[in-house]
């Protein structure tokens, strides 16, 4: 079944508590990357155009249940207002009599942004009192915060148990795109996994091994596989305690006919600031670390991606924040963008690489989910998704 969409709800003149994921990086009092704000715009605009009185709630950073001056939402409100072309006032808090009074006075087609919901100690505990106080601000609940859907918090689950709950456009798009990777993905299905640790993605690897035709590894996690196969990896980041697990995964891939590829050459250096050198996987100097896949590996991986009808990519292929070690990740970004198949990217660093290369518009779905995306692909039930009722025939239009 598909979650019921906010577009099937009659919101004209009604207060809508919209949970969005506007957890953006800040540079002082400015938003450094507004991608998540832009991703929320379709739902916000639709609600406003249909005459809703939108009470918007988000978290920002990790304030641990108390106010933190550097994590107030004013910069988010400024940027959102600029994109909407209208002022977005910030409430004096998250809940309380003053906030309720302001929400009650909201005009149709206007929006109010609550203060950082994680300033409230009850948020991350899914506190029932906080849930009721949030629900008192609105008549309808819309959850568009897929990036927080793996958390059973007051603003993602508690409110959905009190108010009529619907999914926003981004939530629906995320579930549709990621769900497509789990059910009937077009073959060949190629997954590219990077990042620092195998341990962070064991669940995803287990799930994908039953679905993909090829699994391509890069980043620090690839070093664990190289070491498991007997290569000397110098001082490269790895998880030696997972060597047996890595060998098991290699064996499972072989049994299933899955091409599990690890780098054939790597870019190494004595330190991230040291001189870079490209060497074969069997020639990593003892005093060096592997910081990127090499050009031969990038060409091999790109050729595999070019044959795919479905691609999922999560995690950088090296230390992509350093120019000397960004070429592999950039090559994969270009290969995924050029692929004619369905392409899905998740994970902050891989998404950043695509944006830095100006390739975002050439990807079918760029996930905002981070940890939520990985948990979804592991097959876990996400509390924020499960809290939204399935659509019914009665939800085909405004109700």
Establish whether 13 is a catalytic residue. no
59 annotated to bind ligand: yes
- Which residues does 173 contact at the CB level (< 8 Å), separation at least 6? 365
Is 118 assigned to a binding site? yes
Instruction: Compute the distance between CA of residue 23 and CA of residue 25 in angstroms, rounded to an integer.
Output: 7
Q: Quote the pLDDT of residue 370.
A: 83
Q: Is 22 assigned to a binding site?
A: yes
Structure tokens at 342: 């369905």
259 is in an annotated binding site: no
Q: Which of 75, 80, 35 is nearest to 56 (CA)?
A: 80
Query: Is 60 annotated for ligand binding?
Result: yes
Q: Is 197 annotated as catalytic?
A: yes
Ligand-binding site membership of 153 (annotated): no
Q: Judge whether 43 and 81 are in contact, CB under 8 Å.
A: no
d(CA 77, CA 20): 13
Catalytic one of 81, 179, 203, 371:
371
CA dist 150 and 372 (Å) reads: 5
Cis peptide before 188 (omega within 30 of 0): yes
Is 321 one of the annotated binding-site residues?
yes
Looking at 38, 125, 132, 197, which residue is catalytic? 197
Domains of the chain listed by start with CATH number: 6-170 (3.40.50.1260), 184-377 (3.40.50.1260)
Residue of 315, 348, 369, 384 marked catalytic:
348
The answer to the question of whether 248 is labelled as a binding residue is no
Give the global pTM: 0.92
350 assigned binding-site residue: yes
Q: Is 21 annotated as a binding residue?
A: yes
Residue 53 labelled as part of a binding site: no
The pLDDT, as a whole number, for residue 388 is 97
pLDDT values of the chain reduced to their tens digit, one per residue, 399 residues: 689 999 999 999 999 999 999 999 999 999 999 999 999 999 999 999 999 999 999 999 999 999 999 999 999 999 999 999 999 999 999 999 999 999 999 999 999 999 999 999 999 999 999 999 999 999 999 999 999 999 999 999 999 999 999 999 999 999 999 999 999 899 999 999 999 999 999 999 999 999 999 999 999 999 999 999 999 999 999 999 999 999 999 999 999 999 999 999 999 999 999 999 999 999 999 999 999 999 999 999 999 999 999 999 999 999 999 999 999 999 999 999 999 999 999 877 788 888 888 899 999 999 988 889 999 999 999 999 999 999 987 665 443
3-state SS string for the chain = CCECEHHHCCCCCCEEEEECCCCCCEECCEECCCHHHHHHHHHHHHHHHCCCEEEEECCCCCCCCCCCHHHCCHHHHHHHHHHHCCCCCECCCCCCHHHHHHHHCCCCCEEEECCCHHHCCCCCCCCHHHHHHHHCCCCEEEECCHHHCCCCCHHHHHHHHCCCEEECHHHHHHHHHHHHHHCCCCCCEEEEECCCCCHHHHHHHHHHHCCCCEEEECHHHHHHHHHHCCCCCCCCCCCHHHHHHHHHHHHHHHHHCCEEECCCEEEEECCCCCCCEEEECCCCCCCCEEEEECHHHHHHHHHHHHCCCEEEEECCCCCCCCHHHCHHHHHHHHHHHHCCCEEEEECHHHHHHHHHCCCHHHCCEECCCCHHHHHHHCCCCCHHHHCCCECCHHHHCCC
Region of residue 370 (left: phi > 0; alpha: psi -120 to 50; beta: else): left
- The residue assigned the tokens 């198949």 is 341
Answer yes or no: are the C-beta atoms of 313 and 366 closer than 8 Å.
no
User: Which of 321, 306, 308, 324 is closest to 353 using CA atoms?
Assistant: 321
* Active-site residue flag, 371: yes
pLDDT for the residue numbered 178: 95
The single residue of 36, 50, 79, 327 carrying the catalytic annotation is 36
């Amino acid at each position: 079944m598909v979650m019921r969409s906010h577009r099937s709800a009659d919101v004209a003149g009604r207060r809508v508590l919209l949970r969005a994921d506007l957890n953006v990086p800040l540079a002082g009092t400015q938003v450094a990357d507004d991608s998540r704000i832009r991703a929320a715009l379709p739902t916000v605009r639709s609600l406003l155009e249909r005459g809703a009185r939108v009470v918007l709630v988000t978290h920002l950073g990790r304030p641990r249940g108390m106010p933190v001056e550097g994590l107030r939402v004013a910069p988010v409100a400024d940027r959102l207002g600029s994109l909407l072309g209208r002022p977005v006032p910030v409430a004096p808090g998250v809940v309380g009599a003053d906030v309720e009074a302001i929400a009650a006075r909201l005009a149709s087609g206007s929006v109010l942004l609550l203060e950082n919901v994680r300033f409230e100690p009850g948020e991350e505990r899914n506190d029932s009192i906080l849930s009721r106080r949030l629900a008192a601000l609105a008549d309808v609940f819309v959850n568009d915060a897929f990036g927080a859907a793996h958390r059973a918090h007051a603003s993602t689950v508690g409110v959905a148990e009190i108010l009529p709950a619907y999914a926003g456009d981004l939530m629906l798009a995320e579930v549709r795109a990621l769900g497509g990777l789990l059910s009937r993905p077009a073959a060949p299905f190629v997954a590219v996994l990077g990042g620092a640790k195998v341990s962070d993605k064991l669940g995803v690897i287990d799930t994908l091994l039953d679905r993909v035709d090829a699994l391509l590894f890069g980043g620090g996690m690839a070093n664990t596989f190289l070491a498991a196969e007997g290569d000397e990896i110098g001082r490269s980041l790895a998880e030696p305690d997972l060597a047996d697990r890595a060998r098991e995964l290699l064996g499972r891939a072989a049994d299933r006919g899955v091409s599990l590829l690890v780098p054939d050459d790597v870019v190494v250096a004595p330190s991230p600031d040291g001189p870079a050198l490209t060497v074969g996987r069997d020639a990593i100097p003892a005093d060096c670390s592997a910081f990127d896949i090499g050009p031969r590996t990038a060409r091999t991986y790109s050729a595999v991606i070019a044959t795919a009808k479905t691609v999922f990519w999560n995690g950088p292929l090296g230390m992509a924040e350093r120019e000397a070690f960004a070429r592999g990740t950039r090559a994969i970004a270009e290969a995924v963008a050029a692929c004619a198949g369905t392409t899905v990217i998740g994970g902050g660093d891989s998404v950043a690489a695509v944006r830095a290369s100006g390739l975002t518009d050439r990807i079918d779905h760029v996930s905002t989910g981070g940890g939520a995306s990985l948990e979804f692909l592991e097959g876990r039930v996400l509390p924020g998704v499960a809290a939204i009722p399935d659509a019914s025939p009665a939800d085909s239009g405004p109700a």
